[in-house]
Amino acid sequence: MRQTSSLLWLRYVLLTIAALMFAFPFYFMVVGAFQENPTNTPDQLVPQSGWTTQNFTNIDSRIDLAGSLVNSLVFTAGVLLGTVVFGLLAGYAMGRLDFRGRGVTWVLMLLVQMVPFQLLMIPLYVQITSSYGLGDTYLGMILPFAINTTAVFIFTQFFRALPREMFEAARIDGASELRILRSIAVPLVRPAIATVVLVTFIGPWNEFLWPFLITKDSSMQPLAVSLANYISNVAQSTSNANGAILAGATALAFPVVILFCLFQRYFTASDLGAAVKG
């Protein structure tokens, strides 16, 4: 009994140390963002200089912080909408419907996941701007990310785990496939939806290269692009360069932390067996 208790305490100690190591960069970033003169290296756990919000004021005076935030929300919301809608439809078809070529489609989807987006960026840019004429538009920024093969893979695996009897009973009762998807399948895969939303949100929210290629209009650029321009061109000329950089990183990371706090309670397994009688 004493040995079990010692192992339990050792586990807690190791987990605590790992959590502190993970959280320390965020602590240093937030503290440095509000310091008048943050140190170049994290050698001081307790800040020595005064506190200020001037670092954030400097950002807002050089870029349209609110406008860039709205652009990021539009860009990210469009990507999330496309990812969830198309991911649910494709995942349900791959996981629960029998059709010719399903195995080949599944293999092709896995192969697409192995291709880095950077290799496709130039042909996509030519196609979006020249063929579709969607340069300097939100749709041009959203379209390449609207279908996410990772989301399709996650939804497919969740749909395959659902009991087949539910779908057979619904079809016998005359329900269409869309009705089955909307009323039966989707409520049972809410953890997958939360996972896809969180994982997908991080990508477009932090994406700056593709939106920068699509539009050079500063009034349409997302927050990541505006902050990248600010850090590379302006921050080094300020009296508190480190504070400006850390303030920009904090402004970009804060919405992601909020989103995780809102969705983390949904990361639980669904009680799939409760949907089957007997």
Task: Give, as one character, the DSSP assignment of residue 116.
Answer: -
pLDDT single digits (tens) 165-178: 888 888 888 888 88
46 with 110, same domain?
no
pLDDT tens profile 124-133: 899 898 888 8
Burial class (CB in 10 A: 0-12, 13-18, 19+), 62: middle
Going by pLDDT thresholds of 50, 70 and 90, the confidence category of residue 3 is low
CA distances from 204 to 32, 145, 180 (A): 26, 8, 31
Contact 208, 199 (CB under 8 A): no
Task: Give yes or no for residue 75 having a pLDDT over 90.
Answer: yes
Residue 41 has a pLDDT of 52
Residue 244 in any domain: the answer is: no
- What confidence score (pLDDT) does residue 276 get? 44
Q: Which CATH number covers residue 215?
A: 1.10.3720.10
On whether residue 58 sits in a domain, the answer given is no
DSSP secondary-structure letter at 266? G
Q: Are residues 216 and 98 in the same domain?
A: yes
Claim to verify: residue 9 and residue 139 sit in the same structural domain: no
Measure the CA–CA gap between 94 and 20, rounded to whole angstroms: 41
Output the pLDDT for position 29: 83
Whether 194 and 77 map to the same domain: the answer is yes
28: containing domain: 2-52
One domain for residues 153 and 193: yes
Do 154 and 108 have their domain in common?
Answer: yes
196 in any annotated domain: yes
* 130 and 216 together in one domain: yes
First to last CA, the chain: 40
Q: Give the pLDDT score at 265.
A: 66
Do 81 and 194 lie in one domain? The reply is: yes
Give dist(CA 96, CA 167) in Å, integer: 8
Q: Is residue 83 located within the same domain as residue 38?
A: no
pLDDT at 45: 56
Taking phi over 0 as left and psi of -120 to 50 as alpha, with beta for the rest, 174 belongs to: left
Would you say residue 57 lies in a domain? Answer: no
In a domain, 136, yes or no: yes
Residue 109 lies in a domain: yes
Same domain, 207 and 262: yes
Residues 121 and 24 in one domain: no
Q: Pick 162 or 1 by higher pLDDT.
A: 162
**Rounded mean pLDDT of 21-49?**
71
Judged against a pLDDT cut of 80, whether residue 233 lies above it is answered with no
Q: Are residues 79 and 206 in the same domain?
A: yes
Number of domains in the chain: 2
Question: Of 271, 112, 267, which is closest to residue 199 (Cα–Cα)?
Answer: 267
pLDDT tens-digit series, residues 48-59 = 667 778 888 877
Considering the domain boundaries, does residue 156 fall inside one?
A: yes
Q: Per the domain annotation, does 10 fall within a domain?
A: yes
Share of the chain above pLDDT 90, in %: 12
The yes-or-no verdict on residue 96 having pLDDT over 90 is no
